[in-house]
Amino acid sequence: MPGASPTRIPTALTQGTVTKGGIGESTLRPDGTLKVTGEFAYASDLWHEDMLWGCTLRSPYPHAEIRSVDVSEALKLPGVYSVMTHDDLPATTHFGLEIHDQPVLAKDRVRYHGEAVAIVAADHPETARRAAAKIRVEYAELPPVHDEDSATGPGAPVLHPGRDDHHAPHVTHPNIVHRQPIVRGDVAAAKARADVVVRGEYEVGMQDQAFLGPESGLAVPAEDGGIDLYIATQWLHVDRDQLAPVLGLPQDKVRLTLSGVGGAFGAREDLSMQAHACLLAMATGKPVKIVYNRYESFFGHVHRHPAKLTYEHGASRDGKLLYMTCRIVLDGGAYASSSPAVVGNAVSLGAGPYEVDNVDMEALALYTNNPPCGAMRGFGAVQACFAYEAQMDRLAAELGMDPVELRQRNAMSQGSLMPTGQEVDSPAPVAEILRRVKAMPMPPERQWESSQSSGAAGGSTGVDVRALPGGLSNTTHGEGVVRGVGYAVGIKNVGFSEGFDDYSTARVRLEVAGGEPVAVVHTAMAEVGQGGVTVHAQIARTELGVSGVSILPADTQVGSAGSTSASRQTYMTGGAVKKACEAVREKAVRLGREKFAGHHPAWVSGGELLLEGGKVVTGDGEVLAALADVLGDEVIDEELEFRHRPTERLDLETGQGFGHVQYSFAAHRAVVEVDTELGLVKVVELACAQDVGKAINPLSTIGQIQGGTTQGLGLAVMEEILVDPGGKVRNPSFTDYLIPTILDTPAIPVDVLELADEHAPYGLRGVGEAPTLSSTPAVVAAIRNATGLALNRVPVRPEHLTDTR
């Protein structure tokens, strides 16, 4: 990143414990070098002797009746071992994260473009593909449901007749998955007092997680009649919970092992090829591998919910928010996935990190014939943040007030109440992070002129087009370019909410190997690139005072670690590792007391004894014994569960309740340069300030913040899955679904705050999602600032900036 301002890491963050490589140190990722050099083994690299290749036949129609399926020609192809349709499913036929509404293979009807209809196993991927092409499916197209009007209007086709899920009783139409209002205070009275009112309608396009490693896994039938699945996923145990009934196997016969994961961002929360590979492996008695190509991957996972949002804010003349109302309509697509939870997040976080006493809010998710939408980094909070931050800028403009000052004037702080009535009971430095991003030095103007030598890539002498909108495409040498600055701040929950029993399990063993004490950590945590394996080793070193830590592969032989999502893993599985280590430490110290009671008075004095640098030490640091001597041949082994404090469901009418575990906050200042004639944007800098409670690994913390920031930038200016009104996906490839390249990625100076949350392990706060929220509205605010346009939709396209739709 040319011209990057130095990222600020408080010096305290770089000081570790006595034991090297503990928490607070930037220990390096074990997989980092392998990934950069191309040697890391991803799930797509899995291989087994005699394995078959699976292939999926998918619906070309968004909504159609299946009249007939004829697999006879496919079965005749030499090399084909099995062809399966819905009729061949051995047990439970549907799955889903919360609502089991999605068929493993479509029965009688397809509800989205790309829905799986049949699967094939053959001895070569090309043979499997050809066989799938020979399956004859007779479809009768049905009218598609594609938006709120067509979903809930008179005569709308009901996509899931006979719903019996627990949201069905309270929704106003069967094509609404879930609806959650929040009502608090007296909006009508506040409205009467408001000096200024701003209203806006906003739209967020369908973003894709765009992970680089496509869906892949290998299912191996076992001699005991069970199945071993090697898989890239986000949550091994919830995959197993859904798979076992579909396979007709008891849970202990379905064993999952995490394979190399090439990114996730929410897209691996739902099943993709898991059940298909297992079913084919059971049917053929042979290992079956399925790997999607990029095209299929776009149909193989859920996306971020597109949203339409209507907001109204009223304020007094001095800029104090008096009330807000909003209605957030999320397009959940054909199946529920995690839509209900996304609804809960969107509405409960829909007022943003602001104090506002009177609210009337509503969010709902629709069933449509568009691609299914579910989890993606930011999870409902992203859509809301784009809208409420646009509203704050409008309000500031209306009041003639500085947009940062308006935000600070209404910023929540510790002790503030959420619209749900929940008290924010840990630090909430909203005004402070805004102050910090505003105070950062501005990037120099006209960097295309000042850069290194003359005549860099692509232009006239003295112009570096890489620093200009359009970049290497050489569209401007400065003509039409206007700078803009914008600010945004967001609020995200951490962990699973609304009464979910959210827990993680860790098993920690301490023993002597080669004369040294070694800790072995075993969890089912899915390492999807977030750095959990690094953090677990750091925690074990800090808690057990050993330098040697080995992290076992994640599998279902140990209890659930919950999902690698909701910014929760360092908090939750990190918390479980900490808890297990503490139990192990206690046993080790007790062992020492038993063995060495007579050697030193401190062993029996009852004072706290610690493990540091491979030794047992007193609170004053006096060494009592080598840990290896204490342990001898003993092996200490503990498996424990860790739970965050309980939350509760939101009231279905008022939305009141202790819904969330923890909140996290990030603020951005975006500096952009817009070619106002061509509508092209160069984001020059995206400064971020975020409170992380405690940076367990500062380097990874910065990485998360910069990654989330970049993903938010993508939504702001380029990333969108285009779906036509008939429900067909128009750009399922990286040729036309664009994600930022390094030339689109600005300098991202990061200011990390560490204000401990007393409820959380080490005081830490989940990091990964908050920066994804505020990045998008900050960039769009900056573009508005440069162009004076309203821009109520993301991603912003050149057509929007040049009025050439």
Partner 1 sequence: MEFLRPARWEEALAAKAEHPGAVPIAGGTDVMVEINFDQRRPEQLLDLNRVTELHEWETGEEEVALGACVPYTRIIEDLRRELPGLALAAHTVGSPQIRNRGSVGGNLGAASPAGDSHPPLLTAGAEVEAESVRGSRRIPVEDFFTGVKRNALADDELIKRVHIKKASGPQQFSKIGTRNAMVIAVCGFSVALHPESRSVRAAVGSAAPTPFRALAAEDFLGAALEEEGLWDSGGALPPSVTKEFAGLCSAACNPIDDVRGSAAYRRHAVGVMARRTLGWVWDDYRGGAGSGAGRAAGDEGGSRCA
Write down the least CB distance from residue 469 to partner 1, Å.
7
Least Cβ distance, residue 480 to partner 1 (angstroms) = 8
Contact (Cβ atoms closer than 8 angstroms) between residue 167 and residue 178: yes
Residues in the chain: 805
CB of 437 to partner 1, least distance (A): 24
Nearer to partner 1, 398 or 449 (CB): 449
The answer to whether 328 and 153 have CB atoms below 8 angstroms apart is no
Contact at 8 Å (CB) between 571 and 494? yes
Q: How far is the CB of 207 from partner 1 (least distance, A)?
A: 15
- Please tell me the distance from the alpha carbon of residue 768 to that of residue 281, in angstroms, as a whole number: 36
Spatial contact of 348 and 313, defined as CB atoms under 8 Å apart: no
Residue whose CB is less far from partner 1, 620 or 803: 803
Binding positions for partner 1, rule: CB under 8 A: 129, 293-295, 453-461, 466, 469-477, 479-480, 677-680, 682, 717-718, 722, 730-731, 733, 735-736, 738, 740-744, 797-799, 802, 804-805
End-to-end CA distance of the chain: 33
Kindly tell me which of 416 and 447 has the beta carbon lying closer to partner 1: 447
- Tally of CB atoms within 10 A around 15: 9
Q: Please spell the DSSP secondary structure of 579-643, one letter per residue.
A: HHHHHHHHHHHHHHHHHHTTT-GGGTS---EEEETTEEEETT--EEEEHHHHHTT--EEEEEEEE
Closest CA to 301 of 227, 233, 364: 233
The answer to whether 362 and 330 have CB atoms below 8 angstroms apart is: no
Q: Is the dihedral of CA 485, 486, 487, 488 positive or negative?
A: negative
**Phi then psi dihedrals of residue 654, to 5 deg:** -100, -15
Question: Please, what is the minimum distance in Å from the beta carbon of residue 474 to partner 1?
Answer: 5
Residue among 11 and 741 whose Cβ is closer to partner 1: 741
Q: Which is nearer to partner 1, 346 or 794 (CB)?
A: 794
Six-digit token string for 44: 């797509």
Residue from 292, 327, 293, 324 nearest 310 by CA: 327
* Closer residue to partner 1, CB minimum distance, 296 or 754: 296
Quick count: other Cβ atoms within 10 Å of Cβ 214? 22
Q: How far is the CB of 731 from partner 1 (least distance, A)?
A: 5
Closest CA to 580 of 638, 533, 522, 536: 638
Tokens describing residue 747: 């300098």
Q: What is the DSSP string of 254-316?
A: EEEEE------TTTTSS-SSHHHHHHHHHHHTS-EEEE--HHHHHHHS-EEPPEEEEEEEEE-
Q: How far apart are CA 230 and CA 217, in angstroms?
A: 5
CB of 650 to partner 1, least distance (A): 39
CA dihedral angle for residue 344, residue 346, residue 348, residue 350, rounded to 10 degrees: -170
Closest distance of CB 452 from partner 1, Å:
8
> At CA 511, angle to CA 509 and CA 516, rounded to 5?
135
Whichever of 295 and 500 has its CB closer to partner 1, that residue is 295
CB 710 within 8 A of CB 1: no
Vertex 101 angle, CA 99 and 103, to 5°: 140
Name the minimum Å distance from CB 481 to partner 1: 12
Q: How far apart are CA 256 and CA 102, in angstroms?
A: 22
Q: Which of residues 413 and 745 has its CB atom nearest to partner 1 in the complex?
A: 745
Shortest Å, Cβ 47 to partner 1: 20
CA–CA separation, 647 vs 117, rounded Å?
Answer: 39
The continuous run of DSSP H or E covering 705 comes out as helix 698-717
**SS3 track for 424-487:** CCCCCCHHHHHHHHHHCCCCCCCHHHHCCCCCCCCCCCCCCHHHCCCHHHCCCCCCCEEEEEEE
Residue 717 or 770: the one with the smaller Cβ distance to partner 1 is 717
Smallest separation (angstroms) from partner 1 to the CB of 291: 13
Closer to partner 1 at the Cβ: 68 or 452? 452
**Rg of the chain in Å (alpha carbons):** 27
Q: Tell me the closest approach of the beta carbon of residue 487 to partner 1, in angstroms.
A: 23
Closest separation in Å from C-beta 468 to partner 1? 8
Measured from the CB of residue 475, what is the shortest distance to partner 1 in angstroms? 5
Q: 350 or 746, CB closer to partner 1?
A: 746
Q: How far apart are CA 111 and CA 177, in angstroms?
A: 15
Question: In the bound complex, what is the minimum distance in angstroms from residue 736's beta carbon to partner 1?
Answer: 5
Is the Cβ–Cβ distance between 429 and 753 less than 8 Å?
yes
Minimum distance between the CB of residue 454 and partner 1, rounded to whole angstroms?
Answer: 7
Q: 294 or 320, CB closer to partner 1?
A: 294
How far is the C-alpha of 784 from the C-alpha of 272, rounded, in Å? Answer: 39
Instruction: Considering the complex, state which of residue 131 and residue 171 has its C-beta at the smaller distance from partner 1.
Output: 131
Of 473 and 550, nearer to partner 1 (C-beta) is 473
CB of 385 to partner 1, least distance (A): 23
Q: How far is the CB of 471 from partner 1 (least distance, A)?
A: 3
Of the two residues 657 and 746, which places its CB atom closer to partner 1 in the complex?
746
C-beta closer to partner 1: residue 252 or 479: 479
Q: Judged by CB, which is closer to partner 1: 457, or 604?
A: 457
Neighbours of 457 (CB within 10 A): 13
- The position carrying tokens 């309509």 is 329
Task: List, in order, residues 6 or more apart from 400 with CB less than 8 Å away.
Answer: none
Query: Nearer to partner 1 by C-beta: 136 or 730?
Result: 730
Amino acid at 286: K
